Chains A and B, each alone.
Chain A
Amino acid sequence: MDFKNRAKAALIAAALAAVAAAGVTALLINIFERKQEAKNPFFRVVDLDEETEDPAVWGKDFPFQYDGYKRTSEMRPTRFGGSEAVSRVPTTEDPRKSVSRSKIEADPRLKTMWAGYSFAVDFRERRGHAYMLDDQTYTGRQKADPPGTCIHCHASVVVPYRKLGDGDLMKGFSKMNALHYTEARKLVSHPVSCIDCHDPKTMALRVTRPGFLEGIKALKASQGTKDYDPNLMASRQEMRSFVCGQCHVNYYFRKPDKRLVYPWTKGLTVEDAIAHLDKDKFQDWVHADTGANALKARHPEFELWNQGIHARAGVACADCHMPYKREGAMKISDHHVRSPLLNINRACQTCHKSPEEELKARVEAIQAKNERLRGEAMDAVVALIGDLKKAKDQGRKDPAFAWAGDLQRKSQFMVDFVCAENSEGFHAPQEAARILGRAMDLARQGQIVLRDAAFKPTEPLSGPQ
């Protein structure tokens, strides 16, 4: 080997040695960082108290959690749920640059179901926590002049409620319910924030939404537990669902004070909700086509999950929607709350050892069946509404007509219960199918009783007349 070749070989060898040394150094630094991180899981750089409303301040102490929280602004649909961002030209009335897809345009049957109600004007796909306040402030449903009650779940309310109630959360809640939305909106400034679910001193989970505190108390009272207070009596694992159940529930605005109430005095099933609302002689609106005293179901995620196998197995909302993740040597719960289908490894594979594609396929198989059944049930309700409209136009006011209207109220609420629920049936597939089957049955019975007054529907007429 002559000098030139030897020099070349030496240079190549040196270059390789340099690359290897760089790689090993990267490993060394990595191990060093992990060891340091393991010593100090977090640094308190600012003091947090019951006045700290701004999540950015909490973010200084908990940057990884805050980072995930901010990422709820990402818009990524799954096969059956969510939405990609639909861009729009901002106006002075509505400065939003993007919205989610319209659900009522995608399925016009919803407009028939909600005829005469504000949901038939504007109703869109869900999107992340980051948008909750803007999407409520600028929805087309604002034309209906909603009450301040709505703020309960669309903003960080702990500090504003306490301020309005002179330190008393419940008093502030009652006061804000009585305001117009536009007035109440001026009192809040952030979407759901750290302080809504965490004690600022200990970081322990806590429930602060008055609607939930009253709802769960009524539910537990119906089961024989008096004066239930989740903040004192719930287990740590229960709290990992209760904090979500503060808002992801079915509710109504009790008349006449428009107080937010979770209809749980009889239990958590769809029939329990109807029984509660019947007893309260409540209707959300009078259906424009049929005159029926109609009900609107709202996202009963907590209730449906309660009927499912995951709840039965003790799996909490946070286990799948905020699973543990690793940030360096730290283990934190993922505050980028989203569909588990967008996070299968952390959300599902902690327990389910099958490959990601297989798990996704299993969920989508359930959701596809739910989608189909939901469509069939909605067809039945729309058919009943069509028949009732004809009967109303003919001037019918007989008992059979009233009974059919009551069956519309119930079957429609049942279909809505599954439609408005955010898991496309997954939280409790069998229960969702049972509800849709019952809805179909009641809607068709309504059609029969309109044609044959001698027919006795299996469900008594129990709603307000």
Chain B
Amino acid sequence: MTAEKTVLLLFAALAGAGMGIGTYTFVYAKGTSYISNDPKVCDNCHIMNKEYDGWVKSTHHAAAVCNDCHTPHNLVGKYETKGLNGFWHSFYFTTGAYPDNIQIRKRNRSIAAANCRRCHSDIVHAVDGRYPKAQALDCLRCHSEVGH
């Protein structure tokens, strides 16, 4: 066996091990469930207990699930957001470097804000009307707890 072959074999073995562990972790962590729209999935790791419990009792319970407000309404944007959040959630849960009262990040906040307007456009177009976009009202400033 040449040296080149040994190195390649080593690489293949390592990559294979990585893939194996990755697949196992994916299955063990119910990875496939994250493709769905079921709000229970967002509470898989219990960090969202408070938010989930709040949503169950909220007015939006009948009208929207987590993804309706927290992901963009196009296929690419939706799974891009899920992927990004999934990565950072895994990262922070593993390191433990996150506050007990979780904080929404800027990107996710603007997605949620845009989704308020998507459903409630009939009401807000009159509110927004003649003001330039920079001065647009922020729904979440007053209604931050409407979903949960």
Enumerate chain A interface residues (CB-CB to B < 8 A): 3, 6-7, 10-11, 13-14, 17-18, 20-21, 23-28, 30-32, 34, 38, 323-326, 329, 345-346, 349-350, 353
Contacts and interface: CB of A to CB of B under 8 A. Distances in A.
A28 B28 contact: yes
15 contacts: A3-B3, A7-B3, A7-B4, A10-B8, A13-B15, A18-B14, A21-B22, A27-B25, A27-B90, A27-B93, A27-B94, A28-B21, A31-B29, A323-B100, A349-B101
B89 to A, nearest CB: 10
B1 interface: no
A49 to B, nearest CB: 33
Interface in B1-51: 3-4, 7-8, 10-11, 14-15, 17-18, 21-22, 24-25, 28-29, 45-46
Contacts of A353: 144-145
B1 to A, nearest CB: 14
B15 A17 contact: yes
Contacts of A34: 45-46, 93
Nearest to A23: B94
B24 A28 contact: yes
B100 A21 contact: no
A31 B7 contact: no
B99 interface: yes
Contacts of A346: 99-101
Contacts of A10: 7-8, 10-11
Nearest to B30: A31
B18 A17 contact: yes
Contacts, number: 78
B25 to A, nearest CB: 4
A67 to B, nearest CB: 15
A24 B22 contact: yes
Contacts of A325: 100
Most buried by B among A6, A7, A31: A31
Interface residues of B, number: 27
Contacts of A32: 28
Secondary structure call for the A interface: helix
B18 A20 contact: yes
Contact of A30 (B11, B18, B94, B101): B94
Contacts of B10: 10, 14
Nearest to A346: B100
A21 B103 CA distance: 29
Contacts of B103: 349
Contacts of B94: 23, 26-27, 30
Given A10-B7, A350-B101, A38 B18 contact: no
B101 A14 contact: no
Contacts of B24: 28
B46 A329 contact: yes
A345 B100 CA distance: 7
Contacts of B18: 17-18, 20-21, 24
Nearest to B90: A27
B21 A14 contact: no
B8 A21 contact: no
Most buried by B among A10, A23, A32, A38: A10
Given A7-B4, A30-B94, A349-B99, 13 more contacts: A3-B4, A13-B11, A14-B10, A17-B17, A21-B21, A31-B45, A32-B28, A325-B100, A326-B100, A345-B99, A345-B101, A349-B103, A353-B145
B4 A30 contact: no
Contacts of A323: 100
B25 A28 contact: yes
A47 to B, nearest CB: 30
A23 B87 CA distance: 11
B17 A21 contact: yes
Contacts of B14: 14, 17-18, 21
Nearest to A350: B101
A14 B141 CA distance: 48
Interface in B98-129: 99-101, 103
A11 B4 CA distance: 11
Nearest to A11: B7
Most buried by A among B10, B101, B103: B101
Contacts of B28: 28, 31-32
A350 B25 CA distance: 32
